[in-house]
A and B are shown apart, each in its own frame.
Chain A
Amino acid sequence: MFKALWLLALPLPVVHAALDEQVGDFLEQHCYDCHEDGATKGGLRLDNLAADFTEVGSIDIWQEVLEKLETEEMPPKKKEKPATKDRKQLMEWIRARFVEHDIDPVIDHKRRSPEFGNHLDHKALFDGSHLGPAYSPPRLWRFGPHAYDRFVEDVKGLRRAATIHQPFTIDESKGVIADYAAKHFADSATLQLLMMNCQSIAEYQTTGILKREHDGKIHRHQNTPDPFRVILENDESPDQEQLEAAIAWEYQLVLEREPSEAEMISSLAFCKNAMRTAGKKRGLQATLVSIMLKPDAVYRMEIGLGETDVHGRRRLSAIELAFALSFALMDRGPSKVLVGGESLLDLARDGKLESPEQIRSVVKRILDENDMSTADFTMFAQDHKIRNTRVLRFFRDFFGYHHAPRVFKDENRISIDSGFDTRKIVDDCDQFVMNIFDQDKDVLRRLLTSNEYFVAYPGSFEKFEKDLGYIRNNKDDQNFKVNKRYIERTEAAGRTPIPIEGPSSRSYVGFYNIDHEAWDFPTEQPFPLPKEERAGILMHPAWLIAWSGNFDTDPIRRGKWIREHLLAGTVPEIPITVDAVIPEDRHQTLRERLTATTARSCWNCHEKMNPLGLPFENFDDFGRFRKREMLGEVLSIFPDRHREATSVPVDTSGAITGSGERAIEGKVTNAFELVHKLADSDLVRQSFVRHTFRYWLGRNETFHDSPTLIAADRAYTENSGSMKTLIASLLASDSFLYRKSQP
């Protein structure tokens, strides 16, 4: 019957007739069981699907069919597996129809996005069956917001003089490596902001910017380099040499290079023209703007200007490599990144950045020389001595803990004296990860299991004394007396006070189950928290809050995070028919309320998440350790205020299933057992390597990258879990160094 319908629906029945029958056969044999009239699983019905590639509805379904086939998500594992040949034939047939009708396969878009990184058979990626050779596509990678900030900082005094808008925003999603080369474009919105910034910078560099300051007076902010001054302060028209010097100066500032001959000619012509039209001052400004808007001020060019090898791959030229490395590590250009006394750009020019050994050694040195112990207090996260924000941002993207402040919690539950300050928890967590990174030993294991935390640590003993001294003497603070009494009381009891001003601010340490009134502040950190309460970052309040809901913990998303980030697994997108709302019955534990997801139709997906997330139920949704779960109306984060609440012991059981690694499969009794199992796993380590690759390469891995990943994984294990060695291995890999267009 279905075949008749199928043929009826064909727009051009003559063409492809033979293949269409096979298409019909495939669908009948492998799909209709679950997707036909009366059995529309996931809301999808295929038996009435027409071979119509003009109608939106059916195109959508064909898109989905193609995606499920290519990712091998369907037919499900429990069903009979179609022959590879048949599957391939159907995929090709769909793709051919798409080409005919000028339809973009959605799956191709998805493959380029970070959310889709795991849709590549993990085993095959690491079993050595793919021999490469590895390469990246030639590409233009738009500068990120941090690199732009760095550039603005390098124009001294600019921030004080003018409002600079961030043109290179990145849409950050929780737990996603956001800065992919393929994802970001400079479009008209970018250009609009860039042009405004460039005009401000050009004015700042020439005539100066007038600005009313807090004192009510108007001040001129100006930073005019000599080559510009010569032109502007001289009554005569500038000569060729002066103009060339000015142009070259701006090239150096913005692009860290000299203009080519053609560029110089074109810039000169423009400059003279502009000066003729609108005067010397305005003409020079326009010229500066034109240099600041050049494509390589917006995109890092990674074309592969070096030699071509036998595989048709082009190597990055030494200069391209210097740029690629310096932005990969430090968010700034290679003339500003120093290794020993020499800049990265000089190293490249001197031929000291050629062999993989040289590259690895330079990378390691840069990472070593920029750790927390050598940082000053002027950098980002200045109080916490975190200098290498490129590395820090990897951890933030990967774990997503810095989203903690963005999770709304009902104000009724946190009356004003609660000290619900999640930003401090994020600072603590930043220090936790960067300290482990700097130590560079068993990094992943320690991230997952260490109970050595930082809490309210100002960065050093000197800074601690400075902060405490400030609090002691800050009479202007409305809590001055309260603070003073707190310090005196604490010291009289032989304890060290917390160097934070104000009792409600201090009380945030409660999220670590620490009583701020009775705590003896450790001036040396990290320090161990009770090991039966905390182990690793997944039990850090920052991570727990970031992955919690408005009122509850969030075992589903926590489990999803573990599945996707640590087990290299995938969880299908939520079917459009599912109304994913957890029942509100507050007389049940969250685990009980989630039993709705164990229905057969839900469990297929939820099995991948819930058992991994539920062990963390011995933390409440503010990340505090608990042994009992409160029931009833949630009114406050203070359990003792629940007058009518009852509580029940927490069930922390869970399981690792479907990971593909036998050694870690099975039930776990609590989160501690879970994270230790994960820390021991090869799969987890490799999954971490894959994410590291994505961050530093700015794209998803392909099978071509298999040798790169295997080598990076080996570099990590053979060097006692050194993440710096892992990064060095990636940045000296063929994947990083070579460019080849994709077929």
Chain B
Amino acid sequence: MNPTRRHLLKGLSLGAVSPLLMPFVSRLRAEGTAAGAPKRFLFVVKSSGLTPAELVPTKLISTMVRPGEKEGWPMELERTDKLLDLPLADYELPGSLGALKPFKDQLTILQGLSGKMCRGGHSAWYGALGCYHTGDEGNPGRPVSATIDGLLARALPAIFPHIGLTLGGKVLSGVKDSVVYPGISALDIDRPLPYQANPAIAFQSLFGVAATGKDAAAEQEVQAMLLDHMVGDIKRVQGAIGNEDREKLDHYLGAFEGLQDRNRRLKGMEARIRKHTPEVSDKYTSEVETDRLEAHFDMAGAALISGISNVVTVRADTLDVTYRGLGISKHVHGLGHAESVNGMTSVEARRRIRTFHLDQIGRVAAKLKAVPEGDGTMLDNTLIVYLSDAAEKHHGSCLEWPFILLGGLAGRRGRYLQYPGYGAEGHRTIANLYNTLMHAVGKPQDQFGRLDVNLAKSLQQGPLPELMT
């Protein structure tokens, strides 16, 4: 349904393009395609907001950051009326970003985007990656269109088009142990993407092919026979019941056929997968949240490096998660409500959690950087995106939506970019960022999700030129 750039340009020559698209089309022509487009993506989505003021380089804190609304609450970022575009090379990163120091030249701290087309509060659900309003406090509502990770998964096909790894389920839940639908990623309308919360199971399904023992050949053959048998069985049932409620059996059949196909393709990549399979440790069966997350990040990196997937989303936590492994004995929700814990203020505890996440991102980045690819390394062709589904704070207003980008957006990197505040000239939204990503993978679209009707439409269309070249 979404017109690709090629379609658009083709349409233009036939004179059949809506006048509303015209400005964008001409913009596209002017911009051309970015060189060295990213080939893979890792999204890391934390809960409870990503505090903008905490991402400001230390030298800028005195001018850019003001005290929080109440004592004990997070500091706040001063809005700007002009685009702030500063080289990170000249600045020291704030403490929680310490692990990203080696990658400073590939890092972008992105501030000032808004996402008011989304629901705020504890979670914007699918809106955070999809730019639309959906759900309520406890319920994600429907995915009315694909989220950016879903769209990228479609644009960058792989054996596992999208891998979702998570600690918990829906935003208010705690640690889970099975397949869950956290309500933040969708492949398409009404196609929410599943996440695996159990690292051991995730490992088995992603890297199992490389972990089989001596009876492997016979075992794999039996598995293949089983799948063939099931496909035949389901088709027989389909034949017997005709077209009634066909979709249901199609899904089930599709699951088997998908598995057949996947196993065949995994087999072809066995050596490569084995080479990059993460080492199985106690972390995979641990009940400690940080262990599980480390396992997830190990797998995320390995999946991208081995090529079994090009798009991974790690749902880093949910509000009922307690980071015991970090010496924090209150759940994320409590910290979001400025509760102090174990002698720390909530701001300190939240910083500790963020530091942990960014350490993990740093670990994955280092692994990617160690693998040569083309003229550079895999990190040059991989984009890591860190954000919160609650935008800028625990009960997000979506007026500000900070991001940390690391790795391969070919254009200008190593920047601190802060867009003019909501409503100011030059203000842009998260839709522009996602347009940028789609543009980067060669599937440009003029609009992402729904518009914020209080902002000019033209502002929300097209990519962010500052990230392009």
Least distance between A313 CB and chain B CB atoms (Å): 13
For the complex formed, measure the closest distance between the CB of B4 and the CB atoms of chain A, giving whole angstroms: 11
Which single member of A44, A113, A189 contacts B194 (CB below 8 Å)?
A189
Beta-carbon nearest neighbor of A294 in chain B: B233
Asked whether A54 lies within 8 Å of B18 as measured between CB atoms, the reply is: yes
Residue contact A293 to B255, C-beta cutoff 8 Å: no
CB B132 to nearest CB in A, in angstroms, measures 8
Given the known interface contacts A193-B178, A576-B453, the answer about A109 and B142 at a Cβ–Cβ threshold of 8 Å is yes
Interface readout for B231-260 with A: 1 if CB under 8 Å, 0 if not? 011101100010111011101101110110
Contact B453–A577 (Cβ < 8 Å): yes
Contacts of B258 in A (CB 8 A): 188
> Are A56 and B229 CB-contacts (below 8 A) given A174-B139, A278-B219, A283-B222?
no
Residue contact A188 to B215, C-beta cutoff 8 Å: no
Determine the distance from Cα of A274 to Cα of B225 in the docked complex, in whole angstroms: 7
B447 touches A56 (CB 8 A): yes
A403 on the B face (CB < 8 A):
yes
Number of interface residues of B (CB under 8 A): 77
Determine if A282 is an interface residue (Cβ-Cβ < 8 Å).
yes
**Could you mark each residue 264-284 of chain A with 1 if its beta carbon is under 8 Å from any beta carbon of chain B, else 0?**
001000100110011100110
B20 interface contact, C-beta 8 A: yes
A278 and B223 CA atoms in complex are apart in Å by 10
Which of A9, A44, A169, A412 is B179 in contact with, Cβ under 8 Å? A169
* CB–CB B229/A290 < 8 A: yes
Give complex CA distance A171, B201 in Å: 21
Q: Which of B252, B330, B397 contacts A579 (CB 8 A)?
A: B397
Complex contact A138–B245 (CB within 8 A): yes
A406 touches B138 (CB 8 A): yes
* B374 close to A (CB within 8 Å): no
What is the CA–CA distance of A11 and B20 in the complex, to the nearest angstrom? 12
What's the least CB distance linking A178 to chain B, in Å? 10
Identify which of residues 125-160 in chain B touch chain A, using a CB-to-CB cut-off of 8 Å. Answer: 132-133, 138-140, 142, 144-145
Asked whether, in the complex, the Cβ of B229 is within 8 Å of the Cβ of A270, the reply is yes
Of chain B, the residue at the smallest CB distance from A163 is: B177
A278 to B138, CA, bound (A): 48
For chain B, what secondary structure do more than half of its interface residues adopt (helix, strand, loop), or is it mixed?
loop
Q: How far is the CB of B260 from chain A (nearest CB, A)?
A: 11
User: Are A191 and B229 touching (Cβ within 8 A)?
Assistant: no
Q: Nearest chain B CB to A289's CB is how many angstroms away?
A: 6
Given contacts A173-B138, A266-B229, A411-B330, contact A185 B245 (CB under 8 A): no
Q: Are A196 and B201 in contact (CB under 8 A)?
A: yes
Q: Mark A175-189, 1 if CB is under 8 A from B, else 0.
A: 010000000011111
Residues of A within 8 A of B243 (CB): 741
Closest-CB distance, B116 to chain A (whole angstroms)? 8
Question: Residue A473 at the B interface, CB < 8 A?
Answer: no
Q: Chain A residues with Cβ under 8 A from B319's Cβ?
A: 408
Say whether B172 contacts A286, CB under 8 Å.
no
Number of A residues near B (Cβ < 8 Å) is 83
Contacts of A270 in B (CB 8 A): 225-226, 229
With contacts A298-B252, A411-B339 known, is A174 near B138, CB below 8 A?
Answer: yes
Q: Which of B176-224 contact A (CB under 8 A)?
A: 177-181, 189-190, 194, 198, 201, 204-205, 215, 218-219, 221-222
Query: Which residue in chain B gives the minimum CB-CB distance to A139?
Result: B245
Contact yes or no, B1 A56, CB < 8 A? yes
Residues on the A chain within 8 Å of B116, using CB: 579
Chain B contacts of A412 at CB under 8 A? 337, 339
The answer to whether B397 touches A52, judged by C-beta atoms less than 8 angstroms apart, is no
Whether A406 pairs with B172 at a CB distance below 8 angstroms is: yes
Contact string against A for B residues 154-174, beta-carbon threshold 8 Å, 1 for contact and 0 otherwise: 000000000000000010100
Give bound CA distance, A99 to B450, whole Å. Answer: 22
Interface string of A151-175 (1 = CB under 8 A from B): 0000000000000011101010110
Residue in B218, B232, B259 whose CB lies within 8 Å of A266: B232
Indicate whether A102 reaches chain B with its CB closer than 8 angstroms.
Answer: yes
A286 touches B245 (CB 8 A): no
Residues of A within 8 A of B255 (CB): 186-188, 190-191
- Asked whether B268 is an interface residue with its Cβ less than 8 Å from the other chain, the reply is no
B447 to chain A, nearest CB (A): 5
A264 to B194, CA, bound (A): 35
A634 CB, nearest partner CB in chain B, Å:
11
Q: Is the CB of B236 within 8 A of A262?
A: yes
- CB-CB under 8 A from A185, the residues of chain B are 247-248, 251-252
Q: Please name 15 further chain A to chain B contacts, defined as beta carbons within 8 Å, in addition to the given A54-B3, A55-B3, A298-B252, sorted by A numbering.
A: A102-B1, A138-B245, A139-B244, A140-B244, A167-B179, A186-B248, A191-B252, A191-B259, A193-B179, A193-B201, A270-B229, A290-B229, A299-B249, A574-B133, A581-B120
Q: Can you report 7 residue pairs joining A to B where beta carbons are below 8 Å apart?
A: A9-B18, A57-B450, A60-B450, A290-B233, A412-B339, A576-B450, A579-B120
**A interface residue numbers (CB < 8 A to B):** 8-9, 11-12, 40, 43-45, 50, 52, 54-60, 101-104, 106, 109-110, 113, 137-140, 142, 165-167, 169, 171, 173-174, 176, 185-193, 196, 262, 266, 270, 273-274, 277-279, 282-283, 286, 289-290, 293-296, 298-299, 301, 303, 403, 406, 408, 410-412, 550, 574, 576-577, 579, 581, 739, 741
A-B complex: 10 closest residue pairs judged by Cβ atoms: A43-B453, A138-B244, A189-B194, A173-B139, A191-B255, A140-B248, A188-B255, A52-B18, A576-B133, A278-B218
